[in-house]
Each structure stands twice: as C-alpha cells, then as structure tokens.
Structure 1
Amino acid sequence: MPHTPLPPTHRNNAKSMRKVMTDAELKLWNELRAHRLMGLGFRRQFPIAGFIVDFACPEKKLIVEVDGSQHSDAGRANADEIRTKRLEQDGWIVLRFWNDDVIRDIDNVCQHIVITAGLAEAT
C-alpha cells in the first residue's frame, strides 16, 4: 500500500517524537515492536490523515493512543474526539488508554488490543 505524501514538517515531527517517548509509550512499544504482540505489525509515531498517531497497525487499520492527564482537559478532550472521528471516517479503529493503565496493567491493555484486532482465540 503506497504511503500518502507527507509534508516534510510532519515527517520531521514524527521522527522527533520517536526520540522522546513517554514512559507509558515506551512500555507499550516494547510489547508491540517487532511483531511481538500476536504477530501484529505496529508503527510508532505514524503520520495518518494529517495527524501523528502514537501507534498504528496498518494491516488491521488499528490505532492505539496513549494519553496523559492533559487529555482530560475539556478542550483537549474535544480535540481528541474530533481527531478520532476523522480517523474513523477513513476506516481506522482508534483505541485510547491512559498512561496509568499502560504502566500498571500492560497485560490487559495488550489483551484489549488483541481482541480489537480480532486475533483472540475463541474459548
């Protein structure tokens, strides 16, 4: 699948963001990288539709965002909702987790990602 052309500033911003990941983003990335989570191929700080998302699995059209406390601010929460709706219009599924959830309960975060990707085994 060809990449959508990106303005150089978006590409540079994404590269910079990869170097300064939060503790929660780094913890989740260690679970997602190199197809470690059920073979899913994730990209980090990935530009999509004019946004830079925290993690994206293009094969499953799945986005995972890790949010800090600043996302609970009403203005930021509204902007996140608009962003999510825009990404969903393009067929992406957007999952959001709080930093604290990733730090304290990474197993359940990963399980939720796997279930959403449709890879969970039927029991």
Structure 2
Amino acid sequence: MRNKIIPYSPHLKEYARQLRSNSTLSEVLLWKNIKNKGYGFQFHRQVPLLNYIVDFYCHELMLAIEIDGESHQFKYEYDAMRQGELEKEGVTFLRFTDADIKQNMFSVLLTLEQTLKNYQLKIHP
C-alpha cells in the first residue's frame, strides 16, 4: 500500500508552488536537514493531497510532517479534520511546533530519526 497515489485538486498545484517559494523560517530549517534523502528517505515540500497541502511528505512511507506555527493556533478542529481525512487514505503524521523547530531542532531530528527507524523495521524486519 505504500507509494499509493493520493489524488489532489489541480488548483492546489500552483498554490503549493507559491508556498515553496515563500517558505517560513521553520520550514527552511527543517528542509535543510531532510532534503536529498538526508535520513534515507525522499521528502518533498508543500505537497498537495486531496484538498490540502502538507508541509513535507514522503511518498514511500506515506508520512507527512507538519509544522504548526501561529496560523494553526485557532485551527485545531480544522487541522484535526484535515488530518483525519488524510489518515483515512493511509497517511501518517508527525507534528512539530514552530518553536520546536527554532529552539529544539536536536529533539525534532531525534524524533524524526526514531520514526524513520521504526518504519525501516516494519519494511525490513
């Protein structure tokens, strides 16, 4: 089931491109660590899935990484609904706050590394 193609609304493609061109500082900082298979898996930035765009996505693992900044403070219900719809498609999520990325990158990367190791154990027991 991994590498499942999840359809998306075509109008999101241009919006995702704009988001990639206007990344937040936290997105840039995390991207520096995970781009070019930095942890053995290929991640992409601002990926459209269904009617949404996730910050980072690994197709192979169907893993989305979301950075919750100020824009998410009052969107808990929307984020939960959005995440639930994507989870029905098989996507799993890792969520970090903007502050985590900026102030505690070491712990963020440890969490990511452990998550990816767990996936590798499932793939190659």
Fold shared by both chains (TM-score > 0.5)? yes
Segments of 4+ in structure 1 off by > 3 A? 1-8
Give the whole-Å Cα distance in 2 for the aligned partners of 1:50 and 1:96: 19
Structure 1 pair 4–95 and aligned structure 2 pair: CA distance change class (3 A): closer
Gap regions ≥5 residues in structure 1: none
Does the Cα contact within 8 Å between 2:61 and 2:119 map onto a contact in 1? no
Residue 110 (structure 1) aligns with:
109
Counterpart of 1:29 in structure 2 is 31
AA aligned opposite 1:17 = L
- Greater share of helix residues, 1 or 2? 1
Shift of 1:8: 3.8
Query: Aligned pair count?
Result: 118
Q: Which residue of 2 is the match for residue 42 of structure 1?
A: 43
Unaligned runs of 5+ in 2: none
Distance 1:120 1:114, change over 3 A: farther
Name the TM-score, length of structure 2 as normaliser.
Answer: 0.85
CA RMSD of aligned residues (A): 2.0
1:19-76 deviation digits (Å, cap 9, x = unpaired):
000000100011111011x211100001112211000011111100011123121xx1
How far did residue 7 of structure 1 move? Answer: 4.1
